[in-house]
Amino acid sequence: MRIPEKAALYIDGEWVDTDRRRPAVNPYTGEEIATVCECPPALLSRALAAAARGAADIAAMAARERASLIRQAAAAVRGHADELAHLMAVETGKPLADGRTEALRSAETLELSAEEGLRIEGAHIPMESSAIGAGKIGVSLRFPVGVVAAITPFNAPVNLTAHKLGPAWAAGNAVVLKSSPMAALTLQRYVEILAQAGIPPGWLQSIQGDEAAIGLLRAPEVDFISFTGSSRIGEQVKAGSGLKRVALELGGNGYTIVAPDADLEEAARTCARNGMRLAGQSCISVQNVCVHRSIYEEFARRVAYHASTLRAGDPLDAATDVGPVINAHSAGRIQGLVDDAVRSGARLMLGGTHRGALVQPTVLADVPAACHAVRGEIFGPVVALMPYDDIQAVFSQINAGPFGLQAGIFTASLPLALEAARKLRMGAVIVNGSSTWRSDQAPYGGVKASGIGREGPRFAIREMTEERFVVFNA
């Protein structure tokens, strides 16, 4: 398919070019493939004004009508899944099969949002429980916030965008979307598909540029900010947003525990696959695996074997399992973390090299818990293995770290699984699965440096509405 020469801005139903541009680069080849238009202040003001008008229109629309338009959009996305997968492969390095899966998931996310938008409900408040409330009727109702600023990353560009657009629209809000410039071509096509499917111009504005992102944080027209990205930038978003409400889906370092009674082969295969797929560029990618010492060496051998069967290479080749990371700079950063771990005493079992942005699947054993490859977020195809003797020490190690997104535990013991669920301070604990698991209707998000609030259509709709208490006096 033909790759667009530029990614334009979508403002008030029109595609707008600007002279301020940055290059879009194919991460696998390193070649410049297009340019990305950046949004100057005047156009941001225009986009915000259009969103404010759109917010009034969408809030006045019946929920069933909003749901019908969102379902139409989902059907259109499903019909263009292969095209979107191709763009993702060229622009972000995501293998074709993974890109197609993501595009189809984004359609499902929109459908789930349409359904949840029909079930927004308040509550009856029992006023008779207090003397001052006696004889009164109290109800709590939910209303749209208005304009949502949605800031999305490159690693799952269409589904993470759907997780913001779908709930916002279903709740009756308009959206100003600022996507990653490293996925701008993909998101341009995604927005085109949505618009052609009947999403009204006031529902969605799409812009680019760091200056525009800062402007969104400060803009009085913006009522709510939904951000997905690194913990470092998330902290800046929170600091720069003033009193605006925010939802922040941030980083993680993917802990998974393998107990002595675990299904060894299933755990090893799952950890290898989920540490390497998407080139490890997911906040919940398996990164750190704590394995009971009695099965540690056998587990390490099996993880290295399963990882070695994955083919790294051209994302446009259907046989590729692991594509490049987003750019050569990221690959160099990942290489530095691997080298530092080895210098600190880790044993390199597989990989440990890169060419350009293509990082070979890497397995490290005996990694010291204090090194950067454990405590930080690698965000690359690297799995760090550590033996343990005392499960309580593992719980303490995980909780002492900065992140709290998701963790997994493989065990046949229900009491141990429940103990992990109670003691691990995480947004989610996955039993007999790795940290890398997400179903789009479920609550998703973290604590500590992993974020604030929850995604998943039902839960995001609650974030994107505001509560209003109404009292009826007799």
Q: Is residue 443 in a domain?
A: no
Do both 217 and 283 map to the same domain?
A: no
Q: Is residue 440 in a domain?
A: no
Dig out the tokens for 152 from the structure: 């999305």
Q: Is residue 444 in a domain?
A: no
CB 437 within 8 A of CB 410: no
Do both 265 and 362 map to the same domain?
A: yes
Q: Is residue 441 in a domain?
A: no
Do both 56 and 189 map to the same domain?
A: yes
Do both 241 and 265 map to the same domain?
A: no
Nearest C-alpha neighbor of 5 from the set 14, 13, 17: 17
How is residue 277 annotated by DSSP? G
Residues 152-169: b if buried by 16+ CB within 10 A, e if exposed = bbbbbbbbbbbbbbbbbb
Do both 246 and 261 map to the same domain?
A: no
Nearest C-alpha neighbor of 186 from the set 328, 430, 7, 423: 7
CB 93 within 8 A of CB 27: yes
Dig out the tokens for 474 from the structure: 């007799």
Catalytic residues: 249, 283
Provide the CATH number for the domain around residue 260: 3.40.309.10
Q: Is residue 272 in a domain?
A: yes
418-to-158, 255, 402, 410, 435 alpha-carbon distances in Å: 35, 17, 23, 12, 16
Do both 283 and 228 map to the same domain?
A: no
Dig out the tokens for 8 from the structure: 């334009």
Do both 167 and 244 map to the same domain?
A: yes
Do both 87 and 182 map to the same domain?
A: yes
CA angle 271, 362, 105 (to 5 degrees): 50
Do both 362 and 455 map to the same domain?
A: no
Do both 326 and 231 map to the same domain?
A: no
What is the residue-level pLDDT of the chain in tens, covering all 474 positions?
789 899 999 999 999 999 999 999 999 999 999 999 999 999 999 999 999 999 999 999 999 999 999 999 999 999 999 999 999 999 999 999 999 999 999 999 999 999 999 999 999 999 999 999 999 999 999 999 999 999 999 999 999 999 999 999 999 999 999 999 999 999 999 999 999 999 999 999 999 999 999 999 999 999 999 999 999 999 999 999 999 999 999 999 999 999 999 999 999 999 999 999 999 999 999 999 999 999 999 999 999 999 999 999 999 999 999 999 999 999 999 999 999 999 999 999 999 999 999 999 999 999 999 999 999 999 999 999 999 999 999 999 999 999 999 999 999 999 999 999 999 999 999 999 999 999 999 999 999 999 999 999 999 999 999 999 999 997
Do both 260 and 238 map to the same domain?
A: no
Nearest C-alpha neighbor of 193 from the set 151, 162, 163: 162
CB 97 within 8 A of CB 278: no
Residue 198 CA to its chain's centroid (Å): 26
CB 437 within 8 A of CB 444: no
Number of domains in the chain: 2
* Cα–Cα distance, 45 to 49 (Å, whole number): 6
Do both 48 and 160 map to the same domain?
A: yes
Provide the CATH number for the domain around residue 170: 3.40.605.10
* Cα–Cα distance, 198 to 66 (Å, whole number): 11
Judged by DSSP in three states, 289 sits in strand
Q: Is residue 44 in a domain?
A: yes
Domain extent for 214: 6-250+450-473
* Cα–Cα distance, 227 to 308 (Å, whole number): 35
Summarised one tens digit per residue, pLDDT across range 70-93 is 999 999 999 999 999 999 999 999
Sequence-ordered list of residues with C-beta below 8 angstroms from that of 70, at least 6 positions apart, any chain: 110, 111, 113, 114, 117, 166, 169, 170
355 sits in which H/E element: strand 354-355
Chain position carrying tokens 């759109």: 54
Residue 287 CA to its chain's centroid (Å): 16
